[in-house]
Amino acid sequence: MAVIRDVMPAFELVQPSSIADAQKVLEEQRENGWVLAGGMDSFDWLKDRIKKPKVVVDLSGVAELKGIRTTTDGIEIGAMTTLTEVVQHPVIREKYKLLAESAELVASPQIRNQGTLGGNVSQDARCWYYRAGWPCYRAGGNICYADTPEGRNREHAILYADRCVAVNPSDTAPALIALDAKFVMRTSKGERPVDAEDYFIGPEIDITRLHILNPGDLLTAIRIPSTWAGAKFYFEKVRDRNVWDFALLNVASAMVVTSGSIERIRIAVNGAAARPLRLKVVEDAIRGKPPNRATGEMAGKLAVEGAIPLQFNGYKIPLMRNLVKRAIGGVEEA
Amino acid sequence: MDPLQWAIDPWGKLVPIHIAWFLIWVAAIAGLLFVIVHAIFVRYFAKPRQFEPVTAPVVPAQIPEHVPRHSLTARAFHWTMAASMFTLLFTAFLPRVGFQFDWVTYHWIAGSVLTVSILFHIIHASFFMDFWSIWPDRIDLRDAGRRILRFVGRPAPLPERFAKYPLENKLYHGAIIAAGLSAIVTGVFMMFRVRTIFFPRNPYLFSDMTWGMMYVLHGLAGVGLILLITVHVYFGIRPEKRPITKSMIFGWMSRDFYLEEHDPKRWAVGIPSPSRESAGTRNED
């Protein structure tokens, strides 16, 4: 893990009170600007002196970015809403419990009190070679230190690795994909909503970031449609210890079962690749089938097709297979 | 503005990691400037080209109407190489200027195609074509001197007509060899750092410094190729060069163009030329 080396480097702190003001500064600063949400990821980077932005834009004073609002077609969650607020919100607990469950498993209570939903989905990779400031691909260099015979890669990717083998560490991301959420970004061209799964990108597209936000862009809100409200949800996170740890793998599913058959389903996993993976092939294969052990086993096998383990993360293949199996067939059936 | 990007490796050594990406724009703008300056010069300032009259009489009837210039094999190689080269340039540099897509796989596949086609070309050119026809000879150098002197207004004899390839073609070919082979050799080693079907990954094949220099050389060759390809395409579409471009499509050039630009003594076509034949001149390329 990263070692705190020093006090933060000097930067100009800007504390806007509106989205427009925040975006104006970010537009001006481009690569020199840094978005500060809850600070749970940012302060690591800054105190380690690995990232040295000239201007930090603190969004904590932007009221528009906070709060949970019900809309005609679901709910809208401001990007600066804390994870604790998400966990405790009555509408989310009643209709979109999948998100509450995933947010509740993030880190520790203190971190959830400070960390935001926007920050959780936009946080950077936790690969220690990258976080330690080594000149790896993700840092703009020309090597992946984790994908070597001796590299410590127990937590790294088994799918869609492309030079870099870091994984996306978010717990709420797969839940939001399963809920068919829309991520609302403010760009220089105006508001741009994108499907949750399209918000995330792998190294084959851009090896230096985990999402599509360009310098100057801002994630403002996450909208969850009512399509999956009250569906049968499943979320499971596997980690080395039961509190305050990143997922080795997690799985989130939303399923509508009619007359004993899966009518509709969305399922996503995270921790297997550099982006949370929506398992469309699995969804297509099990639609119309009963949500039981046999269907779960088939889904699990399909989910890991093409997986390539690294030196120390072969366990992730059976783990992912079993998580998908449990998400479909249920824990009792597994 | 450092033309290279540097990093501190895990052992604390300063190593280059690749070229600075602004060099992409330097190469693109340099290519564009060359095109503009050359086009203006040819349009407004250039004098008509003059050649030394041929000493031996040429009987046009002995020259075929369609003078064979490039065999089907040579043309297939050229266009395969062109397709792979464009794919390599687009997949290498478009992501660097904001067009993001899954480029690595297409890049190494195109690089593999280029490598195989170049290996084929080396064998084909060495054993089945007139190998020396693309290298500058003594007359080329002498005529280059004459042309430069005449360009700056100094008295000099007229240059002879060209052999199969003008000196500019030959120099361009040399530059492409340098840039292309640099990109290919470094690219083959760089494939050890990504997952391909050819060999297992081995990122520790070289030291960080050697790897860094390899990435730098690959990058320099790449931006050099932006410039070279821009110039090549420009000349390919210039009106006075179109017969040459057409010959790369259809395999032949017209008798008129041949007699106007080329010296039958230096590039014998249809006319028996014992001295050249004994030197191995053939028309397969």
Shortest distance, CA B84 to any CA of chain A (angstroms): 20
Report which secondary-structure segment, H or E, holds A35. strand A33-36
Contact B102 A144 (CB under 8 A): no
Give residue-wise pLDDT tens across range B165-205. 999 999 999 999 999 999 999 999 999 988 899 988 888 89
Q: What's the confidence (pLDDT) of residue B165?
A: 94
Closest by Cβ to A162, choosing from B18, B104, B215: B104
Contact A142 B211 (CB under 8 A): yes
Would you say residue B257 lies in a domain? yes
Q: Is the dihedral of CA B188, B191, B196, B199 positive or negative?
A: positive
pLDDT along chain B (285 residues), means of 10: 92 94 96 98 91 75 90 96 98 92 94 97 93 94 95 92 94 97 97 89 90 97 97 96 96 93 87 44 43
Q: How far apart are CA A298 and CA A232, in angstroms?
A: 19
Give residue-wise pLDDT tens across range A94-152. 999 999 999 999 999 999 999 999 999 999 999 999 999 999 999 999 999 999 888 99
Burial class from Cβ neighbours inside 10 Å (0-12, 13-18, 19+) for residue A93 reads middle
Residue tagged 């002196």 (tokens) = A49
User: Which of A50, A138, A143 is the best mutation test for B, with the most CBs of B within 10 A?
Assistant: A143
Closest by Cβ to A141, choosing from B7, B102, B103: B7
Would you say residue B194 lies in a domain? yes
Would you say residue B245 lies in a domain? yes
Q: Facing residues of A254 across strands?
A: A233, A266
Would you say residue B117 lies in a domain? yes
**Whole-number Cα distances in Å, A134 to A141, A145, B12, B14:** 8, 8, 10, 12
Would you say residue B89 lies in a domain? yes
Would you say residue B186 lies in a domain? yes
> Six-digit token pair at B188?
């083959």
Would you say residue B141 lies in a domain? yes
Give the distance between the most distant pair of CA atoms in chain A. 62
Q: How far apart are CA A318 and CA A314, in angstroms?
A: 8
Q: Is the dihedral of CA A42, A47, A52, A57 positive or negative?
A: positive
Query: CATH number for the domain including B133?
Result: 1.20.950.20
Q: How far apart are CA A320 and CA A272, in angstroms?
A: 8
Q: What is the pTM of this model?
A: 0.87
Residue numbers of the domain that contains B267: 64-271
Would you say residue B157 lies in a domain? yes
**Domain tally, chain B:** 1
Q: How far apart are CA B178 and CA B7, in angstroms?
A: 27
Helices (H), B130-254: 138-151, 167-190, 208-237, 242-250
